[in-house]
Structure 1
């Protein structure tokens, strides 16, 4: 199509007024069926493609997206997500897009509910949320649906909530893959250790639960005789307490040489192994945060599975931008790659690469 075609030209070809063409282009009411069919026929014949970028810039509106995520330490997986979200805002600064972060405490549904209420009171244009328990999160997302506020689920996929989109790994496949990679180096072992961080018997997310399901499926299918010894490091513990628990465990289980954790805290075990000079033991974990990377380079972590938190944060904001500002259709489910890092390739991994 000729890019210089005007609404006036479309009106002339259709035999209708300029105002009618404008209402059809913007899907507004008060257009007769016959007139709409005439305009749509012309648009189809000339392969009309609206310049949504130009329209959005001309509108000169500001957009605020809220991102509700767990409170976290510096250099954690969630910090990567924040960095990605902010970078997406910078990339769309001409459109006056901003993202505001809100934090709730894991295992504390009251703080999640409180932040959700604050978010609703702010009436944002779109929301990114790392869900809490299904029923609690549903009360929030139902209100978002009532107000026609699009939202994206991050990290844990709950299709019953009917989000605009989802970003995260296929957690079952991720756990299955983790077991497969671990057993490439631990196939001769009779026991392996599974480190978990829990509170009141629960791990931090549905994603970790599903990873463990995938992990155990692989082990049952391929290594049913290998004993999986669980070690719980309480979520609210400190380094001194962790060291005591780990020392007791490894003294009691001298035949353990390989461990795995399905969260981003592999460095807790990795740093302990380095400090106590246990060079014959390794742990496999998740997420390319700096403390994990250091242990990987020094050999106490065997592999890391990366899920590109930066790109998840970036894509969540960019997807809201495309759907809300540019009125484009977006993919409802977006699984992130399952990337395996070792000390040989970690220095080539770019967590902030676009």
Structure 2
């Protein structure tokens, strides 16, 4: 049993005592028999906990507030998985008194991000879990956190300028992987569309890095012969979006593949399906509509960014740092999982 996952329920089971007894031993309150106390302490020692550090943290009975700053899960299903990862992590750390203060912003509204990040700073949390979104504003926010001595761990997008602990994937490599999959899966060379949805690319570092990796792959002589075109789409209305694609596919007859740099791949899939267009399609993440079109083979590949695991690890590392004074890893890169129809059911 890994020590970081040990809960009061686990301790009680291993020590053959009640959960209430474990709580009283750890918090130094109430009456506990010497025999029961010895059994609990023995379990803690066997699980390689440092009793003094753990006891000190627990006996302080301090509520640790972790702030969570992400795009609203109600506006984008992708962030619902991030929220689930946080909830699971906090549930697994029930030895400690942890409260989560969530701050959600509209991913299309830079001013809303500024307002929510300022509200977070005004609340003075003990630590922050943050998904950098608007590039310049994210740097400003992390700089303010540093000035206020608020520890932060970032996920989803790495901002090297701020040197904050990061958990996620190598986005440049992610773009290269997508490019390689297209080359391996297309019988003939032709045009490739790189599609950015719903965000200002000039202020969205995650899209820039993916696109840079994609272009880098095709810049090599052995991968020459493809024409790459970047498309930035800010349209929400389906009819307007389809009209836009009508124009694109009419003017570029030789399109062999489309690469969507975020979780909105299903929007292209819907157009391809409605117009019976045979074109390789690759995007990101397992939101429900993407899963549906992957099952129908309209989407060929999805690169799984695993936001649930990203946040779960971020919460654990931050809690260990705030409560047990452990140093957070500077960078934790997660693997780039390639999802196809045949292995979709293995990812829940």
Task: State TM-score, norm by structure 2.
Answer: 0.79
Give yes or no for contact 2:134–2:203 (8 Å, CA) kept in 1. no
Closer, same or farther in 2 for the Cα pair 1:151/1:191, shift >3 Å? Answer: same
Alignment-derived partner of residue 274 in structure 2: 275
Report the counterpart of residue 125 of structure 2 in structure 1: 124
Tell me the SS of whatever aligns to 2:300.
strand
Query: Are the counterparts in 2 of residues 305 and 341 from structure 1 also a CA contact under 8 Å?
Result: yes
Residue pair 1:259, 1:284 contacting (<8 A) in 2 also:
yes
2:113 is paired with a residue of what secondary structure? helix
SS of residue in 2 equivalent to 1:344: helix
User: Given the alignment of the two structures, is residue 258 of structure 1 paired with residue 257 of structure 2, yes or no?
Assistant: yes
Deviations 1:65-119 (A, max 9, x none): 1111123556622111111011111112331212222122335432222112111
**Number of residues of Structure 1 aligned to a counterpart in Structure 2:** 300
The C-alpha deviation readout for 1:285-344, integer Å capped at 9, x for no partner, is 011111111111101101000011100111111111110012112211111211101001
Instruction: Mark the structure with the bigger radius of gyration.
Output: 1
Match in the other structure for 2:170? 170
Q: 1:212 to 1:50 in 2, by over 3 A?
A: same
TM-score (structure 1 length as normaliser): 0.78
In 2, Cα distance between the equivalents of 1:93 and 1:242?
Answer: 47
| Residues 252-305 of structure 1: per-residue CA shift (max 9 Å, x gap) | 334323211111111001122222333x22310011111111111101101000
Q: Deviations over 1:43-64 (max 9, x none)?
A: xxxx994443333222211111
Q: Which runs of 4+ in 1 moved over 6 A?
A: none
The change in CA–CA distance for 1:55 and 1:199 in structure 2 (over 3 A counts) is closer
Which residue matches 1:230?
A: 230
Quick check: 1:299 aligned with 2:297? yes
CA distance in 1, matches of 2:224, 2:87: 45
- In the other structure, the counterpart of 1:136 is 137
Paired position in structure 2 for 1:146? 147
The 8 Å contact of residues 270 and 282 in structure 1, kept in 2 or not, is answered as no
Q: CA deviation at 1:137?
A: 3.0
- Work out whether 1:114 is the aligned partner of 2:115: yes
Q: Any conservation in 2 of the 1:282–1:299 contact (CA below 8 Å)?
A: no
DSSP-derived class of the 2:325 partner: coil
List runs of 5+ in structure 1 lacking aligned partners.
1-46
Seen in structure 2, the aligned counterparts of structure 1 residues 75 and 162 have a Cα distance that, compared at 3 Å, is: closer
**Quick one: distance in 2 between partners of 1:136 and 1:204?**
9
Partner of 2:321: 323
Relative to structure 1, the CA distance from residue 127 to residue 275 in structure 2 (aligned partners, 3 Å threshold; closer, same or farther) is same
* Cα distance change on mapping 1:253 and 1:159 into 2, 3 Å: closer
Structure 2 residues without counterparts, runs of 5 or longer:
1-47
